[in-house]
Amino acid sequence: MRWKGRRSSRNIEDRRMQTGRVRGGKAGSIGGVGLIAVLVIGYFLGVDVTPLLQSTGGGQTISTGGEITEADKQAGEFVSVVLADTEEVWAEIFKEQVGRAYKPATLVLFKGGTQSPCGGASGASGPFYCPADKKAYLDTEFFTTLSRRMGASGDFAAAYVVAHEIAHHVQNELGILGQANKIRQQVSQAESNAISVRVELQADCLSGVWARYAQARFNSLENGDLKEAINAAKQIGDDTLQRNAGRRPNPHSFTHGSSEQRQRWFATGYEKATVQSCDTFSTDRL
């Protein structure tokens, strides 16, 4: 992705220098594998890395914040440019396709751990979006996890992750997230999971719409970028995550969709380039 020297977003809340301590407690505990912590929130709207992680289940306390390395700095700048891209693109799409103004999300960069109204995040937990404060939360260390542990390398794999979280904000702005979460509170776990899958696949599709518009607007995609995003969608599919964790995939427990579904919905968004084409709620073929 061509991103260096490009406009960065003002809507970054950088908490990486904040030092403090986050209680692990029940909401998040440090795992045994590379000290990667598990993020548990009511409705996980992030990249679910939990199947890969081992939880010790304890109430450990971890340190947060501290030194910003050169790699952290670079990653922060990259995220900021991608966020700026999403702002311009979604402003354009809202105007063209929704008929109203787009209000951008804030993206919180944290290191180690932080708090959100949706719960505490700690360690290199997966990024997530919290509808209550309309903020996306990201520890850029996650990009390393994505690349080294999950087999999704490349800058556009990282861009897709940011675009996916911002897509949840788009769903929130469109009222879809609120409706979906309301229904999820009233149904069985299996039904709730099924709704979650539709929400997540829609976010993947909207990420594809974003990628298409970003390419048209900024000519930012390089050879192989789309492949990186599609590969990332594959690596974070529920079946692949469960299989890589040595488990047999159990579709009833899926909350994000299979690798095949995630790749296909991203591709659909990219090809069709409309919000309408991302209606995962009324299709028979997810």
Residues that bind Zn ion (CB under 5 A): 45, 200, 203
Residue 146: CB atoms within 10 A of its CB come to 25
Pick between residue 18 and residue 106 the one whose CB is nearest to Zn ion: 106
CB of 30 vs Zn ion, minimal distance in Å = 23
Label each residue of 177-215 as H, E or C.
HHHHHHHHCCCCHHHHHHHHHHHHHHHHHHHHHHHHHHH
Rounded distance between C-alpha atoms, residue 28 and residue 26, angstroms: 6
Structure tokens at 141: 């260390």
Residue from 3, 10, 134, 136 nearest 75 by CA: 3
CB of 37 vs Zn ion, minimal distance in Å = 18
DSSP conformation class of 136: E
Which amino acid is present at 179?
Q
Pick between residue 44 and residue 218 the one whose CB is nearest to Zn ion: 44
CB of 199 vs Zn ion, minimal distance in Å = 7
Rounded distance between C-alpha atoms, residue 129 and residue 222, angstroms: 27
CB of 86 vs Zn ion, minimal distance in Å = 14
3-state DSSP assignment of residue 129: strand
Pick between residue 163 and residue 221 the one whose CB is nearest to Zn ion: 163
Structure tokens at 286: 């997810």
Pick between residue 75 and residue 203 the one whose CB is nearest to Zn ion: 203
Beta bridge partners of 31: 55
CB of 88 vs Zn ion, minimal distance in Å = 22
CB of 70 vs Zn ion, minimal distance in Å = 29
Pick between residue 200 and residue 225 the one whose CB is nearest to Zn ion: 200
